[in-house]
Amino acid sequence: MIDVEDLIALVRNYNPRCNAEMIRKAYAYGFKMHDGQMRKSGEPYFTHPVAVAAILTEQRLDDATIVTALLHDTIEDTRSTYTEVASLFGEEVAELVDGVTKLTNLQLSSTESQQAENFRKLFMAMSKDLRVILVKLGDRLHNMRTIKSMKPEKQAQKARETMEIFAPLAGRMGMQWMREELEDLSFKVLNPEARNSIMRRFVTLQKESGDVVHKITADIRHELEKAQIEADVYGRAKKPYSIWRKMQEKDLAFSRLSDIYGFRVICGSVQDCYRILGVIHQRWRAVPGRFKDYISQPKSNGYRSIHTTVSGRDGKRVEIQIRTREMHEVAEAGVAAHWSYREGVRAKNPFAVDPAKWIATLTERLDEGDTDEFLENVKLEMYSDQVFCFTPKGDVIQLPRGATPLDYAYAIHTRIGNSCVSAKIDGIRVPLWTRVKNGQSVEIITAEGQRPQASWIDIVTTGRAKAAIRRSLREEDRGRFVKLGQELARAAFDHLGKKATDKALRTAAKMLGLSDENDLLARIGSAEMPARRVVETLYPDLAQATAEEVDAKRPVVGLTADQTFRRAQCCQPVPGERIVGITYRGQGVVVHAIDCPRWKSLKPDPALVDLHWHSGRHAPVYTISLDVTISNDAGVLGRICTLIGEQKANISDLRFTDRKPDFYRLIIDVDLRDVEHLHMVMTALEAETDVAQISRHRDLTKRP
């Protein structure tokens, strides 16, 4: 938890004349009121109001707003009262705290009719003092950052509410950074598979093309220096949710998405903005239709900037925003810039919007009773933008935006979806990946014997369609996996001199908590479960007796009595893998994996020694390195280490190779028994949602 003096230091950074005594008093009062209360995570509850106050210091807000953040839950959750807060901190703070309390009590994620009325109340509260919603947004941001400690169903409800209401509201207020973070945190809860997929693709892209952001930033700076224009240039990869939304809107695969990087050029004057635009367009080709001048035509929330997209380095499209420093302050803080302080006085930013006028434009339509249009504008496209299409008989089918004829087919009936072979939209035959638009008539053509294809998973967008396709694919593959499982089980039982009878398999299935022997065999055949585990479950003593412990000093067969050996560090072979021995002068025999390119590249041809691993149970002393990319989130690394420990594997070293706002990349050295043990560890990690990518790390630059 941030100490009170540290919090005051954050405020003094932009407001040296702040009322430090009032902040200390509010900190002590809040600490006392919340004493004994705990968050779901187990932390003292007061850590939350302090974190909200710290978030609001980033927007350089006034003392009253910071004090309100510290006290925003006291009237609702403690014995504190409005009268007591007013007597201690004044009417202004009491009104703000009371306003935040009323907002918290609004059930925003209710039915549409109730929602419209609650939005009316929300904006009535905002119209009295917009700082109320600034505190509420800070409150929601911290809750979303720490949402992992809540129950899954509660996480989903809060994330949906954030995506539909608070993120768009932050965007309308011009606080784009907050909108992006709220959207991405919600996206992480609501669609973790899609987010992890984008993160994995980012990592792959970075491996292939290097640090594109650094290169393009340097290119822009070079051009500005040639033109003798002083400006700051910043670049960043866009947030995963922003990329995913563009993929949905434009119906593009990640590889075809152009502007996944954004760049900002911040200069001293409006004249410089247009000069910089000229320099950029002279150096790179502008993309038609991707130019917007929000300086000459500002947005209603005060946002001003020039946006252009150009074909930059290696033909990659990049979006560039050009603005002055004062415009940038408003772009970061939005309407909150009206309260911003600098050097102890209210900042006189000519581009900051008057909150009273801004709120009046928002509530105008509510006063006219036009709540439906307002709600549609506020809610996020991901959940509220629906496509209404028609069946050939004229019935209306409602689908999410971006849906395809396949989604439509599964929305009617699973049987129709499974047997779909093609589709017609408005009487014209179209590919199954076509996006359905409002008002179109869709007809599905089916054929007996047609089965879902694996590629359909990437075509559909609805959960119902994806689930039906996966279920059908599992059933289709099940027969093949059962047959393969029978062969693997027979071999494992024969090794112990036993028979893989139906009764034995049924007994093993019951002991392992599976439905029947076919379920067991399907898991063996699909490599979800090793056949050896079935044998060990039924005959633990016999299995242990046959698996003799291999001497770790002589684990390979094929060496003479006087030959020493060691594992090559470049490929790190483990028992169960095919190996070869290479004789190095003065080093004895070095054991390489058979597919290691290091020994194959040796000139002249190396002296080979035919080796293989001893059969039996090896000790967990063989170190291998794993290249793991994980989400940058609290507790993730701890869970990863726990998962490895649960597989009876020891971590001998861990080092970070890359740190980004969204993810960490690290190399983990793990001590293992054999290749099957390696597979168990990697499978356990791959199943963890916060692991974006995992692979075996082989450093071919290391000496053999």
pLDDT single digits (tens) 419-471: 999 999 988 998 898 988 877 889 999 988 888 887 888 888 877 788 788 77
Whose CA is closest to 22, among 77, 93, 72? 93
Residues 165-174, mean pLDDT to the nearest whole number? 78
Residue 372 pLDDT class (50, 70, 90 cuts): very low
Position 310 scores a pLDDT of 87
At residue 348, the pLDDT reads 65
Q: What is the pLDDT of residue 530?
A: 77
| Position with higher pLDDT, 381 vs 131 | 131
Instruction: Quote the pLDDT of residue 256.
Output: 53
Angstrom CA distances, 499 to 385, 494, 505, stand at 59, 6, 10
Q: What per-residue confidence (pLDDT) applies to 224?
A: 93
Q: How far apart are CA 277 and CA 220, in angstroms?
A: 11
The answer to whether residue 357 scores a pLDDT higher than 70 is no
- The token pair at 518 is 């076919």
Mean pLDDT of all residues in 399-422 = 89
Is the pLDDT at 219 greater than 70? The verdict is yes
Q: How far apart are CA 389 and CA 394, in angstroms?
A: 9
CA 358, CA 211: separation in Å to the nearest integer? 41
Distance of CA 430 to the CA centre of its chain: 33
Per-residue pLDDT tens digits for 588-629: 788 888 878 777 777 666 777 888 888 777 888 999 999 999
pLDDT of residue 315: 63
CA 616 to chain centre: 42
Report how far apart, in Å, the C-alpha atoms of 465 and of each of 191, 210, 391, 445, 498 are. Answer: 15, 37, 18, 17, 44
Q: What does the alpha-carbon distance between residue 510 and residue 315 come to, in Å, rounded to a whole number?
A: 59
Structure tokens at 633: 């989130």
Measured CA to CA, the distance from residue 254 to residue 190 in angstroms comes to: 20
Instruction: Delimit the domains of the chain by residue range.
Output: 4-191, 193-346, 385-461, 470-546, 559-704
What is each CA distance from 568 to 572, 652, 674, 688, in whole angstroms?
Answer: 6, 17, 15, 30
Residues 565, 582: Cα–Cα separation, whole Å: 9
> In this structure, are strands 663-672 and 650-659 parallel, antiparallel, or unpaired?
antiparallel
What tens digit of pLDDT does each residue of 249-305 get?
Answer: 655 555 555 567 789 999 999 999 999 999 999 998 888 777 888 888 777 667 889
The predicted-structure confidence for 493-521, as pLDDT tens digits, reads as follows: 887 778 888 888 988 888 887 888 888 88
pLDDT exceeds 90 at position 343: no
Q: Which of 249-263, 542-556, 565-579 has the lowest mean pLDDT?
A: 249-263
* Token pair for 663: 């993810």
| Residue 88: predicted pLDDT | 92
Residue with more model confidence, 527 or 175: 175
- The answer to whether 609 and 583 have CB atoms below 8 angstroms apart is yes
Residue 374 has pLDDT above 50, yes or no: no
Q: Report whether pLDDT(377) > 60.
A: no
What pLDDT sits at residue 313? 64
CA distance 375 to 366: 10
Q: Residue 380: pLDDT above 50?
A: no
Could you please state the CATH topology (level 3) that the domain comprising 193-346 is classified under.
Beta Polymerase; domain 2 (3.30.460)
- The confidence score (pLDDT) of residue 439 equals 73
**What is the CATH architecture of 559-704?**
2-Layer Sandwich (3.30)
For residue 549, what are the CA distances in angstroms to 462, 492, 565?
Answer: 52, 19, 19
Residue among 176, 185, 174, 101 nearest 135 (CA): 101
**Tokens matching residue 296:** 């000459």
Asked whether the predicted pLDDT for residue 207 surpasses 80, the reply is no
The residues, ordered by sequence, that sit 6+ positions from 259 with a Cβ below 8 Å of its Cβ are 238, 246, 309, 317, 318, 319
C-beta contacts of 151-158 below 8 A and 24+ residues apart: 155/189, 156/189, 156/190, 157/109, 158/189
What are the E-state strand segments in 370-471?
386-390, 396-400, 420-425, 428-430, 442-446
Residue 152: per-residue pLDDT? 87
Superfamily of domain 385-461: Beta-grasp domain (3.10.20.30)
pLDDT for res 532 = 78
Cβ proximity of 321 and 305 under 8 Å: yes
Spell out a b/e string for 115-148, using b for 16 or more CB atoms within 10 Å of the CB, else e. bbebbbebbebbbebbbbbbbbbbbbbbbbebbe
By annotation, the residues acting in catalysis are 76-77
Reported as half-sphere exposure (CB side, CA atoms, 13 A), residue 464 has a value of: 17
Question: pLDDT > 70: what percent of the chain?
Answer: 82
Mean pLDDT throughout 533-549? 69
Tell me if the domain spanning 4-191 has CATH number 1.10.3210.10. yes
Q: How many CB atoms lie within 10 A of CB 320?
A: 26
Residue 23 has pLDDT above 90, yes or no: yes
Q: Residue 22: which of 60, 55, 57, 70 has the closest Cα? A: 70
Cα–Cα distance, 337 to 354 (Å, whole number): 9
**CA dist., res. 592 & res. 598, Å (int):** 9
pLDDT band at residue 51 under the 50/70/90 scheme: very high
CA distances, 631 to each of 238, 341, 374, 626, 660 (Å)? 16, 35, 36, 16, 9
Whole-number pLDDT of residue 340:
66
Question: Residue 44, Cβ neighbours under 10 Å: how many?
Answer: 15
Contact between residue 583 and residue 607 where contact means Cβ atoms under 8 Å apart = yes
> How high is the mean pLDDT of the chain?
80
Q: Do domains 4-191 and 193-346 have the same CATH topology?
A: no
Q: What pLDDT, on the 0 to 100 scale, is given for residue 370? A: 43
- Of 17-31, 193-207, 455-469, 470-484, the range with the highest mean pLDDT is 17-31
Mean pLDDT of 316-328: 87
Distance CA 219, CA 209 (A): 16
Q: Give the residue from 395, 442, 463, 448 showing the smallest Cα distance to 418.
A: 448
